[in-house]
Amino acid sequence: MSALDAFYSTWSRAKDTFGAGTPTDGSQYDGSSSKLMQLQSTIKSAAPDDRWQGTASQAYAAANEEHAAVYQKLADLDKKMAAEVTNAANIVTTGRTQLDNTKSWVDSAVNSLPTSLSAQAREKSLIPIAKEGITQVNHTVQNANTEMNTIAGRVTGLRGEFDALTDQKFARDQGEGKGKGEGEKNGDENAPTEPGAKPGEPGGPEFVIGPPTKPDISWDEDFEYNSAEPGWKDYLKRAEWEAKLAGGRLLRADLDDATQMYRHYWDNDGKPIEFDYEEAYREDPGIRANVDDQISRAQRGAEELIRAGNTSFSMTGDATQTTNYPTTENWQKAVGGYQQWSSADVKVEGNRVTMTVTVHAEDHYNFNRGQADIGTGASDNENGRFTELGWAKPFDSHGEVTRTVSWELGSAPPVDQGGQPQFNPGREDRVDGRGSPGGIRPPDNNRNTGGVTLP
């Protein structure tokens, strides 16, 4: 790689990190502060007039004034939160501009070199230009990191002020809404308990002859979509979580798949999305063990069909809950516990079996009432609340891995007795960045799975 190639590679990675599209500023939060001011005005208008006298009137007036003051403070804090979101957007915009200016400077410096230079002399002249360009790029990224960390600290301080105010007593808590009962079943663990007699149906052998057929999988929903009305605390929580998302997507490129999934949750359209199961296989030992186990299951299923007299055939299997939970923070937050099934083309030549098998991963991105994020311990209920308000919508996701394996008939791998115990932590707090190393680098997920751009 030449010196100039090294610069353009570094610049391109940094540019990808800053994303594309117009960064979301704090203007969208003006509505919540306005609503809080309206609530303050409503409360003030309910103050007792001179027709109501006495101790009760005085006590009511004092409580009324106190509540109005709280709404004023909440509106002020909401404006401060909006300002921090705008500050984060400005950092992104400034970083993009600085990167463009650096590239323009390098391009101009390269174009100014005499055309008469030999190839060796030209490369030697390019080295200091590329070095200066890379230095400028690094400064841009480092400054953005520092400034975003400063914003994160201020947002944490605002969170403390929000909490202090919301702890004050009101006659009615507008932040509470309708939802499912606390005792209802949590988790996404409704895998068929029996293997399928026909492709995609339960009852019979696990694998049957037939084309790839996705099994029918049911998912639990603990938070009923659009079942509640927002209160002032909900607007504050939304501002907080969207600010976390904006910061996480810039500062935690190692969580690119997790933040992409969380961004799609806020898209609020419920459309299925594909994740890069190949990348997950490379990066996460737990997911790798799940895929390898499913391939072994397919080998055993193929041998059963071969013993029944089949030699060249296609087969498809049932869905099962994965045994191993992801070990990396990115994939814990992106898919968590999920189900998988496999389909394959099998050919037998003598005693040799060759199988091209595709392992299909299936997940439903949602939040589980009463559970918590494995990394932070924060409750799923906060993000599940956004579903109840109709602001964010759960969705199905899927991915697949294809492998070709060959073995001697009768030597398929035995049932795996190992693996980690399955558990079902919540899905909340996906973008706050605890528990794994950071550092800006370009997202390496499948570009077909959706945009990797700042909100």
Name which residue leads in pLDDT, 418 or 203. 203
- CA–CA separation, 43 and 58 (whole Å): 15
User: Which residues on adjacent β-strands are paired with residue 372?
Assistant: 379
Question: Which residue(s) pair with 353 in the sheet?
Answer: 348, 407
Structure confidence by residue, pLDDT tens digits, 446-455:
333 333 333 3
Residue 279 is encoded by which pair of tokens? 């990348």
pLDDT number for residue 204: 66
Give the residue with greater pLDDT, 269 vs 54.
269
State the Cα–Cα distance between residues 165 and 150, nearest whole angstrom: 23
Higher pLDDT: 262 or 2? It is 262
List b or e across 251-280, with b for residues whose CB sees 16 or more CB atoms inside 10 angstroms.
bbbbbbbbbbbbbbbbebeeeebebbbebb
**Amino acid identity, position 392:** A
% of the chain with per-residue pLDDT over 90: 38
Residues ≥6 apart with Cβ < 8 Å to 295? 342, 357, 359, 403, 405
Helix (H, G, I), strand (E, B) or coil at 12: helix
Helices (H) and strands (E) in the chain, counts: 10, 7
Question: Are 77 and 162 contacting, i.e. CB atoms less than 8 angstroms apart?
Answer: yes
> Of the given ranges (87-101, 231-245, 293-307), which has the lowest mean pLDDT?
231-245
321: Cβ contacts below 8 Å, ≥ 6 apart: 189, 191, 337, 339, 422
Q: For residue 66, what pLDDT band results from cuts at 50, 70 and 90?
A: low
Output 278-285 pairs: Cβ under 8 A, ≥24 positions apart: 278/399, 278/401, 278/446, 279/444, 279/445, 279/446, 280/326, 280/331, 280/334, 280/335, 280/361, 280/399, 281/401, 283/328, 283/330, 283/331, 284/326, 284/327, 284/328, 284/330, 284/331, 285/327
Residue 190 has what pLDDT?
A: 45
Give the pLDDT confidence score for residue 268 in this predicted structure.
94
Q: DSSP strand E in 174-294: where?
A: 207-209, 273-274
pLDDT of residue 332: 92
pLDDT in tens, 1-18: 678 888 888 888 888 877
Q: Are 396 and 436 in contact (CB under 8 A)?
A: no
Q: Of 38-52, 130-144, 272-286, where does mean pLDDT reach its minimum? A: 38-52
pLDDT in the model for residue 428: 35
Question: Would you say residue 25 has pLDDT above 90?
Answer: no
The residues that bridge with 373 in the sheet, in sequence order, are 426
CA–CA gap between residue 264 and residue 274 (Å, rounded): 11
Averaged pLDDT of the chain: 76
**DSSP reduced 3-state for 189:** coil
Top mean-pLDDT range of 3-7, 55-59, 336-340, 422-426: 336-340
Gyration radius of the chain over CA positions: 28
Please check whether residue 281 is in contact with residue 331, taking contact to mean a CB–CB distance below 8 angstroms.
no
| Average pLDDT over every residue of 242-256 | 76
Tell me what pLDDT residue 71 has.
60
pLDDT higher than 70, residue 167? no
Residue 214 β-bridge partners: none
Pick from 25-34, 301-310, 355-364 the range whose average pLDDT is largest: 355-364
292/219 Cα distance (integer angstroms): 25
Q: Give φ, ψ of 313 to 5 degrees.
A: -160, 165
CA neighbours closer than 13 Å in the CB half-sphere of residue 422 = 14
The pLDDT tens digits for 375-388 are 667 778 999 999 99
Res 62 pLDDT > 60: no
